[in-house]
Structure 1
Amino acid sequence: MSGRTKLILAMAVLALLAAAAVWLPIPGPAQLRAWAAATGPATPLVLLVAYSLLTVAPIPRTVFNLAAGLLVGSVAGVVIALAATTIAAGLSFGLARLLGRDLILRHLHRAPVRAVNERLSGGGVLAVTSLRLIPLVPFAPLSYLCGVSSVKLLPYLAGTALGSIPGTIAVVVFADALTGDTPPALLASYAVFAAVGVAGLVRVLRKRVPAVAAEEPVPSTAAG
């Protein structure tokens, strides 16, 4: 497959994912309960599959985390949500690497592209974990970015799972879809997760700051 074909295909896939995020209806509590009643004992499996596939598009994970807590309870909801998160992250990573990696490689000579790539690949698990802890960093776009970077799959998946644990547990346990409000405690939890994520990211950035070149020739003193 030529580079131009891959680029066109990547743009088409991204457009479809973006359109899905905009046009797919986000179900409310009543609709989720109806789905659960219709699927019966298969509810956990249906939730896992829907969560894993639909969050490959830039659809917020929060609605599925809330659904998990609402439909299957806290313990099962957390297990399903984290499993689906990891699956979706792997699918997004693979899709981005398949379609967009060649395009990024052509621009690695550019300083901003190279800097982002080095931070992700060099930081490994810590870099991905820190970014996943920050609620304002969207799940799917970050997955695409990691897919076209040089970060390895296993550190990426490990960082995604670790960084998603606190926020996932908080949302599933609170399950505020029933009230339609966001509890202050959930906002406070997000703030703490964000602070921890930023701290980890700062550590990665400091660790990867390139050392000052020490190979410059020392001017020789000419003999008088």
Structure 2
Amino acid sequence: MRWWRPVGTALGVALVVVAAVLLVRVYGVPGMSDVRATVDAAGPWAPLAFLALQAGLTVTPIPRTVFTLVAGALFGWAVGMVLTLVATTLAAVIAFAIVRATGGRLVERYARGRLLVWVRLRLDHHGLLAVTSLRLVPAVPFAALNYLSGLSTVRFWPYLLGTAIGIAPGTVAIVVLGDAVTGTPPPALVVASVVCGLIGLAGVVVAARRPIPQDVREPEPQPL
């Protein structure tokens, strides 16, 4: 019986909540200025630790949006933008490399749905366009696209370039939103994020309308 797993998880969550409540009651809720002062006092170790944490955790299916918001809140929009762009790109590269290095055997069993097959075929035949447009669409899960790209035959450099271009607009907008905890978010960046999402959808339509060869075989992952 595996009943102890959900029970253990529930107990762990409860302990974290209780500990957080006790800390708040004892020390109070720090203001954003206090938090930033603590981060500044840590020197270069704080941004380096944040970069390593985001890059390591978002290789897994943990959403990166939380880290993007926190980066803006902790470091401001300029430093936060650089940190989260580098960490996101690094996580994408690591996930891609892991799938290629292992032959994709673990991921393959979960990539059977019709939508996933459709995405993989577009990655195979329209690599840079497909990666860029899919990255621009906020609804496309970051980690899932990393894994599917590793399974596909898209080459590394088009994948890297498409990732760098595609993640930039949405990332900048969310970082600025996080920085707005202590100020007012520029509306232009929010509008830019929406526009980039629409451009991404248009790219997906273009990639979808481009013909796929009829004699397509099941693709094999390509080496880096």
1:194 matched residue in structure 2 = 197
Contact 1:129 1:197 in 2 (8 A): yes
- Secondary structure in 1 matching 2:138: coil
2:97 matched residue in structure 1 = 94
Instruction: Report the Cα distance in structure 1 between the residues aligned to 2:36 and 2:139, rounded to whole angstroms.
Output: 29
Instruction: Report the Cα distance in structure 1 between the residues aligned to 2:38 and 2:92, rounded to whole angstroms.
Output: 25
Contact 2:125 2:212 in 1 (8 A): no
Q: Normalising to structure 2: TM-score of the pair?
A: 0.67
Matches for 1:139-218 after TM superposition, within 5 Å: 139-175=142-178, 178=181, 188-210=191-213
The alpha carbon displacement at 1:178 in A equals 3.0
1:39 and 2:45 aligned: no
Instruction: Report the Cα distance in structure 1 between the residues aligned to 2:154 and 2:148, rounded to whole angstroms.
Output: 10
1:48 and 2:64 aligned: no
Contact 1:133 1:197 in 2 (8 A): yes
Instruction: Report the Cα distance in structure 2 between the residues aligned to 1:162 and 1:32, rounded to whole angstroms.
Output: 31
Contact 1:29 1:177 in 2 (8 A): no
Percent of paired sites with the same residue: 47
Give the length in aligned residue pairs: 189
Contact 1:74 1:173 in 2 (8 A): yes
1:63 and 2:66 aligned: yes
Instruction: Report the Cα distance in structure 1 between the residues aligned to 2:48 and 2:166, rounded to whole angstroms.
Output: 24
Q: Normalising to structure 1: TM-score of the pair?
A: 0.67
The alpha carbon displacement at 1:208 in A equals 2.9
Contact 2:72 2:179 in 1 (8 A): no
Q: Which amino acid aligns with 2:96?
A: F
Instruction: Report the Cα distance in structure 2 between the residues aligned to 1:59 and 1:34, rounded to whole angstroms.
Output: 28
Q: Which amino acid aligns with 2:100?
A: R
Deviations 1:47-101 (A, max 9, x none): 2111111111112211111222122222222111111111000111112223353
Q: CA RMSD in A?
A: 3.8
- Secondary structure in 2 matching 1:175: helix
Q: Which runs of 5+ in 2 are unaligned?
A: 1-8, 18-29, 215-224
